[in-house]
Structure 1
């Protein structure tokens, strides 16, 4: 293994696994830290954790354990994969985990860049943009778990980290890999600008030999070439069985996707009130889904105002935990009853679903949309699409289901 990835959620893990696989590295995604060794022919291993919103100490512990396993498999370079919108709070978890990984690996300086220009994420003058909009004005300021209220990544990371936070500008990046290396400070985390994919290739070249990097999936674009890998297209064998769409994301993009799909297929909303009261159960939702024609959708993707009201009434952690548990148990129940295609929207929801299915390793297939591959749960005939909230076009759900069938 040449490259090891510690991913703070399951959709992000699939995202960067796709980037590495398309760059020509044999790649596997693991659900949690594996107990046994990796395939010795593997070029890249991605350990998917559910640590993005976990307690800080737990996130650090899990991440260090993943790092230890990856290094034991021979990984020469570690990437700490975070969301392309840098999802975190002033307390963490990006800063504390990054500090701990840097100390373990002896990394004095760490390139940090969540940019993903293909998907509309860019970093300019240290500020993160979503499309043409600053991060804190794009809707992420309303995220129910990690409200992003400042687009300046230098300030945001400095709140979370004990290390100094530096910056390498777009002008320096445009001057090439050596210019980036020359501009790196002697110590700390360094926000590096990237406004187009070519910038990420340049950053990748500058990072040859680096022990640790932090970023979104785009940070991996230029790294496999340092190990001699050449671009490739992952294989896919069609899966044509029954399907379900499960959405737990409240992002603007997902709410639009839910609306688009609901106009074409049977859909059923699960509200916080019905979950907390016990009115929404696995058995009733499963019976409803299995009785519908086509591929139905079950969703909990309310407007942020509605979500905040429910959090105020029941408690943020309580609401999130109960909804995730419901989706986890529901996915397992439906898979046991023959559902073979599952499309999931939302990082936390995807983590809950994969955990419920008991999957330990995912094979990476071709892309559905930028940042979202088809994946297969190894050892069973089960196709998955794990989508971060803001990714994909309006018809993403229908597109994913078609591609699972080989279309």
Structure 2
């Protein structure tokens, strides 16, 4: 294994796997830290953790376990992947995990760049934009678990990390890999080894990849991986034999727990197309009026593409959190979706589409998935995924995908839509 990656959730990890597969690396996503060695043919291993919203100490411990396993596979470089909207809290988890990984690897400087231009995430003058809006005006300020009120990544990271935070401006990135590297080294020598890097185009991410060719640790969104495979390719280390994708016949279902603007638009399109949909109301779940058996029974009785969703608007989510408590409500909804996924698959569903990082993580854990094969891209940042011989999935971050994502994902998973 050449590149060892640690993802802080399952949707982001599949997003990263998608980037690496498209760039020509044989990539496997592992759900949790594996208990056995990897296949020697794997060139990039992505260990997906459910560590984004857990206590920082737990996130650090999980990430160091993943690092130990990846080092044992012989990895030459490591990547810590977090969300392209940098969603975290002032107490973690991005800073504490990066601190621990950098210390373990003796890494300095370390790039921090969540930019993903294909999905509208760019970094300029150290500030994170979502399309033409600053992060704190993009809807992320209303995130139920990690509200983002400050678009200045330097301030965000400095509040979380024990390391000094520097900046690699766009002008140095545009001047080429050597200029970018020189600026990073200067920041490290000045006591600012954690370097927020500007990037507004894919070309900028390729430049950053070249500049970081010999750095032990890189951090960012999936976009920061764009330029890494070519570093290994130039050394003649890539085999260049990608696995072929196989579509999956059978029944399908959608589980959506994301409250993002994008996912709410996808739910609205699904309803407008008169597709079957069952809304999961927090009050009914918490009081036991709605159960997993009810949801599964409904879904298995439907034709078309059944959607089970709890994608309420932020005001409704806040009201439910006030009634039941944020953590108890989140735990019960994740438990609901995990058990629903288990019963759907047991009932014959072979194509499962999920929306939302926490929901997707709950589903992956509920199904006890292990090694995942990364397939073709459905939408920017969202690949098709195969688990074993009879189950395929699309694990979508809440903010990703166009309004017709659910229908398009099912068509590609089923082989009704041609892959690129």
Fold equivalence (TM over 0.5): yes
1:208 partnered with 2:213 = yes
> Residue 147 of structure 1 aligns with which residue?
147
What's the secondary structure of 1:79's corresponding residue?
strand
| Residue correspondence of structure 1 range 212-291 to structure 2 within 5 A | 212-228=217-233, 229=238, 235-264=244-273, 265-291=275-301
* Alignment correspondent of 1:37: 37
Q: C-alpha deviations, 1:92-113, integer Å up to 9, x for none?
A: 1000000000000000220000
> Could you give the per-residue CA deviations for residues 77-97 of structure 1, whole angstroms, max 9, x where no partner exists?
110000000010111100000
Q: How many residues align?
A: 406
Find the counterpart in structure 2 of residue 172 from structure 1.
Answer: 172
From 362, 373, 383, the equivalent of 2:383 is 373
Q: Deviations over 1:368-390 (max 9, x none)?
A: 00100000012x40010000000
How has the CA–CA distance of structure 1 residues 123 and 233 changed in structure 2, closer, same or farther, with 3 Å as cutoff? farther
List per-residue Cα deviations over 1:216-241 (Å, max 9, x = no partner).
00000000100005988762111111
Deviations 1:269-312, CA, capped at 9 Å, x for gaps: 00111111111111111111111111210000000011011111
Q: Which residue of 1 aligns with 2:396?
A: 387
Encode CA deviations 1:356-402: one digit per residue, 9 max, x unaligned: 11111110000000100000012x40010000000000000000000
Equivalent-residue separation in structure 1 for 2:183 and 2:298 (angstroms)? 59
RMSD: 1.1
1:258 Cα offset (Å): 0.5
Query: 2:157 aligns to what?
Result: 157
Helix, strand or coil for the counterpart of 2:60?
A: helix
Shift of 1:313: 1.0
In structure 2, relative to structure 1, the CA distance for the partners of 1:36 and 1:12 (3 Å cut) is: same
TM-score, structure 2 normalization = 0.95
Distance 1:76 1:87 in 2: 28
Which runs of no fewer than 5 residues in structure 2 stay unpaired? none
Alpha-carbon distance in structure 2 between the residues aligned to 1:209 and 1:90: 30
Residue number in structure 1 paired with 2:320: 310
CA–CA separation in structure 2 for the residues paired with 1:263 and 1:242:
22
Corresponding residue number in structure 2 for 1:336: 346
1:15-54 superposed Cα distances (whole Å, 9 cap, x missing partner): 0001011111100000000000000111000000000000
Give the conservation status (yes or no) of the 8 Å contact 1:3–1:75.
yes
SS of residue paired to 2:354: strand
Q: Contact 1:85 / 1:135 at 8 angstroms: preserved in 2?
A: yes
- Contact 1:371/1:391 (8 A) holds in 2: yes
**Alpha-carbon contact 2:248-2:392 (below 8 Å) kept:** yes
CA contact (8 A) 1:234 1:366 kept: no
Equivalent residue of 1:47, what SS? strand
Hey, what's the Cα distance between the residues in 2 that align with 1:86 and 1:235? 33
State which drifts further: 254-263 or 226-235: 226-235
Change (3 A) 1:274 1:143: same
Structure 1 runs of 4+ with >2 Å offset? 229-235
Q: 1:195 aligns with which of 182, 193, 200?
A: 200
- Cα contact 1:115–1:122 (8 A) shared by 2: yes
* 1:263 CA drift (Å): 2.1
The question of whether the paired residues in 1 share the 8 Å contact of 2:6 and 2:48 is answered with yes
Structure-2 separation of matches of 1:280 and 1:40:
47
